[in-house]
Amino acid sequence: SPIAETFRVIQGAMSEEYVRTTQGVYQFELSGDEGGTWYIDLKTESRSAGFGKPPVTADVVMSMSSTDFVKMFTDNLKPVLPFRIEKVSNKDDMVLAVSLEKML
């Protein structure tokens, strides 16, 4: 499936250095095919990504369609366009939301 494959690729691309410099947990609330809650953990030692809630509280929660999520990670859509940020507790977390573009 496109969403599961995208998260598999993300998991494989998470370098120790990127985790050390990012220190954020992203939660995605996806609608449409393969919708549901997915996450990227760039904060804990587990450096995980996949389906379900993150292992710790998310720093940033974003809502978007599953189609736009796949497009965002395949460089067919700029990340600032397709999502609505549901939760950002402070300015540093907004920087985390924008820094997701570096991973792309």
Phi, psi (rounded to 5 degrees) for 39: -150, 160
| pLDDT score, position 60 | 87
What's the sign of the alpha-carbon dihedral 1, 8, 24, 100? negative
What gap in Å lies between CA 40 and CA 38, rounded to an integer?
Answer: 7
User: Could you tell me what percent of the chain has a pLDDT over 70?
Assistant: 71
> DSSP class of residue 34?
T
Q: What is the domain extent for residue 40?
A: 2-103
What gap in Å lies between CA 90 and CA 104, rounded to an integer?
Answer: 23
CATH code at position 11: 3.30.1050.10
> DSSP class of residue 54?
-
Total number of domains in the chain: 1
Considering only residues 44 and 80, tell me which one the structure prediction assigns the higher pLDDT. Answer: 44
pTM for this one? 0.77
